[in-house]
């Protein structure tokens, strides 16, 4: 009997060599193997007869090899395989009596040299692909997916000659009981450079299923319903199961691998059969249970109850340089309510670039400072930290608040000094980069932590900051935390990655903005683009010109990178040749911090007309007079990056233009990104598109950002189930308060929580509970 934790090495048919190949696919245990799920299914219940095929159909066919060979065209070698309906008139294989065996299907593989000598006449194959009419009037299929169902070597006589009659008879007999035909067949991704084929997985997983479910089950008989009574324990409480009509876990596992006859192929391909739904829900339920528990534990901690009386309210109003938008007013209200509440605030503020998050952060800071607490504001880059520092001083210092800046590149003396002020409590608002979360920084009385542009920080960093102790002996109250992001997070990801946070949304831009017009130009049209820039400057506005690389000669010279125009070179070209009369500046990440500051400040003071830059200007930079941005090689940038960049313009009253320059030969993804930029300026729509293009795993760039990795669920596909899972997890935990009325027993809840801790926590690192 195989236990879920048993190493795959001990499964019959897997030795150390195969185990290693499996390990490369992260399959280490029997459990991993059982959750290596098919990526699609083939309907081989009634395989189509070649004699009946029509052009245009996508079909599953069982064919017999007639002949095969490689031929060369002027352009490339092509491998051709001809198959017909199996069997012979004298010895028909089941279902193929009386077919017209003269009709054949030609399969073609371009550059198919590797297939040479792979096939022998008489072999039975399962083919899957789209049938087309060939030039010669027959049928053909280009690069079908293919599986050899019988290996003629099994039937070879001693002298090595294939005994076709025997092979056919044998094959026919085997087919009837095989896993390959007469059923819906699971197709697995091959592993071990193709050595571990889909067919191999079918057998090995079948074996694991048959041998790991407990003695009462044994192998289910072919084509009978899978067992409904299983040995495995169901950790989802009965009442929750009933809400969703869930089938038992092992039955679900069986049926996901081996769907019952009659199961809808469409449902299977869409992952919507009862078995698939059960496994998806289970995964999401335990994830959301973890998130919900964490959320409740955080709320149960002792936080700070900030006073919010007339005096504090007046102070908050006093600093306002402008009338807040309705959205700003509403969001500040939500934050203020959280702060006045004894539970620690854990709030995520989502607001598109330019929606005015900074002032909200500063108002929250004022509430904390008026209550005698200190505030830490973290930004992802030094440029942005410096910007925040400058706005904070402008807005807060007149009202008497003391702000300090702390960044990694500052001189040691200055940093030491700043740290001392923070430890003593003289400084009230500390603005900085990750230097702020270095262990050495101590706060006298930290009450509020604001993290700006969260997507730049790992979740872990966020946690570290929140758990930072202060320098008094006592355990300090949990500071409130406000996370701000300009990368709108699609709802699904918000529920998983930030499910423990409350969400506020700033969905209104401050008044006086004119919408940005976005244009696409080819590199060959650069002349027109520079004319546009000159025209904007002539109107008294400023421009950004952005490049993906700093220096063409340096850096990651990956394929083609040297063809990219680089900031440094183009700075020279613009200054010397293209715009000798304009004042051009250069900004990139490799400049010293004080030079960066100086350049930024001259741009802000309009001593520079055109700022040539890399993506260092992506976040936070705020110069309302800039009305045009040219992004060269725009197809090379990520979508959220493009959106962030574009957010630097359209901040003033003047009409703004974003010019995306692209090479004529773009990748398909590059093109989709540019199209998305042309279609909308709405950050949420951009984020959704970005998620579609990149998939959830890549969306946040790194795994460390806390993206859970799923075995079954797919966040793009399973949004609805995710929402249901979240609701059910909360509902289950709420039953604890209901006493005799509870529909879920204490034991069930305890079992579910324990299961989540032991089995799921490891995978969903973000859900660190307790």
State the nearest-atom distance from the C-beta of 499 to Mg ion, in Å.
24
Q: Which is nearer to Mg ion, 354 or 708 (CB)?
A: 354
Residue from 741, 711, 732, 721 nearest 293 by CA: 732
**Residue 386 site contact among ligand ADP, Mg ion, none (CB < 5 to 8 Å, cut-off depends on kind):** none
Query: What x/- string results for residues 450 through 489 when contact with ligand ADP is judged by CB under 6 A?
Result: ------------------------------------x---
Q: Which is nearer to ligand ADP, 258 or 498 (CB)?
A: 498
Q: What residues make contact with Mg ion under the rule CB under 5 A?
A: 357, 620
Distance between CA atoms of residues 62 and 148, nearest Å: 10
3-state secondary structure labels for all residues of 452-467: CCHHHCCHHHHHHHHC
- The DSSP output letter for 703 is G
Q: Is 622 one of the binding residues for ligand ADP (CB under 6 A)?
A: yes
Q: Is 354 one of the binding residues for ligand ADP (CB under 6 A)?
A: yes
**Residue 392 site contact among ligand ADP, Mg ion, none (CB < 5 to 8 Å, cut-off depends on kind):** none
Q: Is 351 one of the binding residues for ligand ADP (CB under 6 A)?
A: yes
The tokens for 475 are 């355990």
Residue from 285, 209, 296, 297 nearest 241 by CA: 285
Q: How far is CA 725 from CA 236, 716, 730, in A?
A: 11, 15, 9
Using CB under 6 A, which of the segments 78-86, 189-197, 316-324, 707-715 binds ligand ADP? Answer: 316-324
**Residue 359 site contact among ligand ADP, Mg ion, none (CB < 5 to 8 Å, cut-off depends on kind):** ligand ADP
Q: Which is nearer to Mg ion, 549 or 686 (CB)?
A: 686
β-partners of residue 451 are: 378, 483
**Residue 350 site contact among ligand ADP, Mg ion, none (CB < 5 to 8 Å, cut-off depends on kind):** none
Distance between CA atoms of residues 388 and 484, nearest Å: 13
Q: Which is nearer to Mg ion, 112 or 620 (CB)?
A: 620
Q: Cβ(254)–Cβ(236) under 8 Å? A: no
| Phi–psi pair at 577, nearest 5 degrees | -105, -55
Q: Helix 668-679 vs helix 639-646: angle between axes, to the nearest 10 degrees?
A: 30
Using CB under 6 A, which of the segments 57-65, 188-196, 351-359, 682-690 binds ligand ADP? Answer: 351-359
Q: Which is nearer to ligand ADP, 356 or 585 (CB)?
A: 356
State the nearest-atom distance from the C-beta of 389 to ligand ADP, in Å.
13
How, if at all, do strands 124-133 and 145-148 pair? antiparallel
Using CB under 6 A, which of the segments 29-37, 167-175, 346-354, 679-687 binds ligand ADP? Answer: 346-354
Q: Which is nearer to ligand ADP, 246 or 379 (CB)?
A: 379
Distance between CA atoms of residues 544 and 546, nearest Å: 6
State the nearest-atom distance from the C-beta of 510 to ligand ADP, in Å.
3
Q: Is 335 one of the binding residues for ligand ADP (CB under 6 A)?
A: no
Q: What contacts 58, CB < 8 A, 6 or more positions away?
A: 128, 129, 130, 131
Q: Which is nearer to Mg ion, 357 or 643 (CB)?
A: 357
State the nearest-atom distance from the C-beta of 360 to ligand ADP, in Å.
8
Using CB under 6 A, which of the segments 60-68, 106-114, 357-365, 528-536 binds ligand ADP? Answer: 357-365
Q: Which is nearer to ligand ADP, 60 or 387 (CB)?
A: 387
291-319 b/e (C-beta count within 10 Å ≥ 16 → b): bbbbbeebbeeebbebebeeebeebbeeb
The tokens for 657 are 């233009």
For CA atoms 657, 662, 664, 665, the dihedral sign is: negative
Q: Which is nearer to ligand ADP, 624 or 708 (CB)?
A: 624
**Cα 741-743-744 angle, rounded to 5 deg:** 125
Using CB under 6 A, which of the segments 261-269, 318-326, 430-438, 705-713 binds ligand ADP? Answer: 318-326
Q: Which is nearer to Mg ion, 357 or 651 (CB)?
A: 357
Selected binder of ligand ADP within 240, 332, 359, 661 (CB under 6 A)? 359
Distance between CA atoms of residues 472 and 477, nearest Å: 11
Distance between CA atoms of residues 583 and 619, nearest Å: 23
**Residue 434 site contact among ligand ADP, Mg ion, none (CB < 5 to 8 Å, cut-off depends on kind):** none
Q: What three-state secondary structure class fits 716? A: coil
**Residue 673 site contact among ligand ADP, Mg ion, none (CB < 5 to 8 Å, cut-off depends on kind):** none
Using CB under 6 A, which of the segments 52-60, 250-258, 352-360, 668-676 binds ligand ADP? Answer: 352-360
Count of residues near ligand ADP by CB under 6 A: 18
Q: Which is nearer to Mg ion, 180 or 618 (CB)?
A: 618
Residue from 488, 480, 482, 481 nearest 505 by CA: 488
Q: Is 353 one of the binding residues for ligand ADP (CB under 6 A)?
A: yes
Q: Which is nearer to ligand ADP, 92 or 324 (CB)?
A: 324
Q: What three-state secondary structure class fits 153? A: helix
Using CB under 6 A, which of the segments 194-202, 321-329, 524-532, 635-643 binds ligand ADP? Answer: 321-329
The tokens for 458 are 């790992």
* Residue 407: burial class (beta carbons within 10 Å; 0-12, 13-18, 19+): buried
Residue from 48, 44, 93, 47 nearest 223 by CA: 44
Residue from 281, 193, 183 nearest 223 by CA: 183
Selected binder of ligand ADP within 322, 754, 759, 768 (CB under 6 A)? 322
357-390 b/e (C-beta count within 10 Å ≥ 16 → b): bbbbbbbbbbbbbbbebbbbbbbbbbbbbbbbbb
**Residue 706 site contact among ligand ADP, Mg ion, none (CB < 5 to 8 Å, cut-off depends on kind):** none
Q: Which is nearer to ligand ADP, 65 or 362 (CB)?
A: 362
State the nearest-atom distance from the C-beta of 380 to ligand ADP, in Å.
12
Q: Cβ(368)–Cβ(399) under 8 Å? A: no
Q: What three-state secondary structure class fits 661? A: strand
For CA atoms 753, 754, 756, 757, the dihedral sign is: positive
| Phi–psi pair at 221, nearest 5 degrees | -70, 150
State the nearest-atom distance from the C-beta of 320 to ligand ADP, in Å.
8
Selected binder of ligand ADP within 259, 344, 356, 490 (CB under 6 A)? 356
Distance between CA atoms of residues 478 and 286, nearest Å: 27
State the nearest-atom distance from the C-beta of 401 to ligand ADP, in Å.
18
Q: Is 329 one of the binding residues for ligand ADP (CB under 6 A)?
A: no
Selected binder of ligand ADP within 468, 651, 657, 673 (CB under 6 A)? 651
Using CB under 6 A, which of the segments 50-58, 253-261, 324-332, 338-346 binds ligand ADP? Answer: 324-332
Q: Which is nearer to ligand ADP, 353 or 707 (CB)?
A: 353
Distance between CA atoms of residues 171 and 173, nearest Å: 5
Selected binder of ligand ADP within 255, 358, 504, 681 (CB under 6 A)? 358
Q: Cβ(328)–Cβ(356) under 8 Å? A: yes
State the nearest-atom distance from the C-beta of 19 to Mg ion, in Å.
50
**Residue 122 site contact among ligand ADP, Mg ion, none (CB < 5 to 8 Å, cut-off depends on kind):** none
| Phi–psi pair at 718, nearest 5 degrees | -110, 30
**Residue 94 site contact among ligand ADP, Mg ion, none (CB < 5 to 8 Å, cut-off depends on kind):** none
Distance between CA atoms of residues 259 and 264, nearest Å: 9
Using CB under 6 A, which of the segments 134-142, 213-221, 350-358, 668-676 binds ligand ADP? Answer: 350-358
Which residues contact ligand ADP by CB under 6 A? 322-325, 328, 351, 353-359, 486, 510, 622, 624, 651
């Amino acid at each position: 009997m195989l236990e879920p934790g048993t190493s795959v090495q001990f499964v019959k048919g897997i030795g150390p060599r195969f185990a290693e190949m499996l390990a490369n696919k992260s399959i280490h245990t029997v459990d991993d193997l059982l959750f290596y799920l098919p990526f699609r299914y083939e309907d081989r219940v009634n395989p189509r007869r070649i004699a009946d095929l029509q052009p245009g159909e996508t079909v599953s066919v069982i064919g017999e090899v007639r002949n095969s060979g490689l031929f060369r065209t002027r352009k490339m070698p092509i491998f051709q395989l001809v198959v017909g309906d199996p069997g012979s008139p004298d010895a028909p294989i089941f279902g193929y009596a009386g077919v017209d065996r003269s009709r054949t299907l030609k399969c073609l593989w371009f550059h198919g040299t590797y297939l040479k000598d792979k096939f022998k006449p008489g072999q039975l194959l399962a083919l899957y692909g789209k049938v087309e009419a060939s030039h010669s009037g027959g049928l053909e299929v280009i690069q079908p997916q293919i599986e050899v169902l019988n290996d003629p070597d099994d039937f070879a006589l001693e002298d090595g000659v294939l005994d076709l009659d025997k092979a056919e008879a044998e094959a026919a007999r085997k087919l009837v009981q095989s896993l390959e035909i007469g059923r819906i067949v699971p197709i697995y991704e091959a592993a071990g450079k193709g050595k571990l084929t889909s067919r191999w997985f079918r057998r090995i997983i079948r074996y694991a299923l048959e041998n790991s479910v407990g003695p009462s089950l044994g192998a289910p008989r072919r084509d009978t319903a899978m067992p409904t009574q299983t040995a495995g324990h169901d950790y989802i409480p009965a009442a929750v199961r009933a809400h969703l009509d869930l089938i038992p876990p092992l039955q679900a596992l069986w049926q996901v691998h081996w769907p019952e006859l009659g199961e809808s192929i469409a449902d299977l391909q869409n992952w919507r059969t009862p078995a698939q739904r059960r496994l998806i829900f289970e995964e999401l339920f335990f994830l959301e249970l973890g998130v919900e528990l964490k959320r409740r534990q955080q709320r149960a901690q002792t936080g700070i109850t900030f006073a919010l009386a007339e005096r504090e309210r007046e102070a908050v109003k006093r600093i306002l340089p402008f009338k807040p938008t309705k959205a700003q007013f509403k969001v500040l209200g939500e934050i203020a309510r959280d702060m006045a509440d004894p539970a620690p605030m854990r709030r995520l503020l989502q607001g598109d670039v330019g929606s005015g998050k900074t002032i909200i952060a500063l108002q929250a800071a004022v509430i904390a400072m008026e209550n005698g607490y200190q505030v830490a504001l973290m930004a992802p880059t030094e440029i942005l930290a410096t910007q925040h520092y400058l706005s904070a001083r402008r807005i807060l210092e007149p009202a008497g608040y003391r702000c300090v800046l702390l960044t990694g590149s500052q001189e040691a003396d200055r940093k030491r000094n700043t740290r001392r002020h923070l430890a003593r409590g003289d400084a009230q608002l500390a603005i900085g980069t990750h230097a702020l979360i270095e262990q050495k920084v101590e706060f006298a009385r930290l009450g509020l932590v604001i993290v700006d542009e969260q997507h730049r920080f790992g979740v872990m960093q966020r946690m570290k900051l929140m758990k930072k102790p202060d320098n008094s002996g006592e355990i300090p109250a949990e500071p409130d935390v406000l996370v701000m992001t300009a990368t709108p997070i699609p709802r699904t990801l918000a529920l998983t990655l930030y499910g423990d946070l409350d969400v506020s949304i700033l969905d209104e831009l401050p008044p006086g903005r004119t919408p940005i017009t976005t244009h696409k130009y080819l590199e060959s049209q650069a002349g027109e683009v520079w004319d546009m820039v000159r025209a904007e400057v002539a109107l008294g506005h400023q421009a950004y010109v952005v490049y993906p690389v700093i220096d063409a000669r340096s850096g990651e010279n990956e394929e083609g990178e040297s063809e990219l125009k680089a900031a440094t070179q183009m700075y020279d070209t613009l200054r010397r040749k293209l715009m000798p009369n304009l004042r051009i500046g250069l900004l990139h990440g490799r400049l010293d911090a004080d030079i960066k500051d100086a350049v930024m400040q001259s741009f802000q003071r309009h001593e520079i007309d055109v700022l040539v830059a890399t993506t260092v200007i992506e976040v936070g930079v705020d110069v309302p007079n800039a009305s045009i941005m040219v992004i060269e090689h725009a197809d090379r940038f990520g979508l959220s990056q493009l959106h962030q960049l574009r957010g630097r313009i359209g901040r003033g009253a003047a009409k703004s233009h974003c010019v995306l320059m692209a090479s004529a030969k773009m990748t398909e993804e590059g093109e989709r990104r540019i199209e998305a930029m042309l279609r909308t300026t709405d950050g949420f729509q951009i984020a959704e598109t970005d998620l579609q293009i990149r998939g959830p795993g890549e969306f946040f760039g790194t795994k460390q950002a806390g993206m859970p990795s799923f075995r079954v669920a797919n966040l793009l596909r399973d949004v609805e189930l995710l929402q249901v899972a979240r609701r059910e997890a909360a509902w289950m935990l709420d039953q604890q308060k209901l006493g005799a009325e509870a529909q879920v027993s204490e034991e069930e809840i305890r079992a579910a929580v324990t299961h989540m801790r032991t089995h799921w926590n490891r995978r969903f690192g973000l859900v660190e509970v307790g």
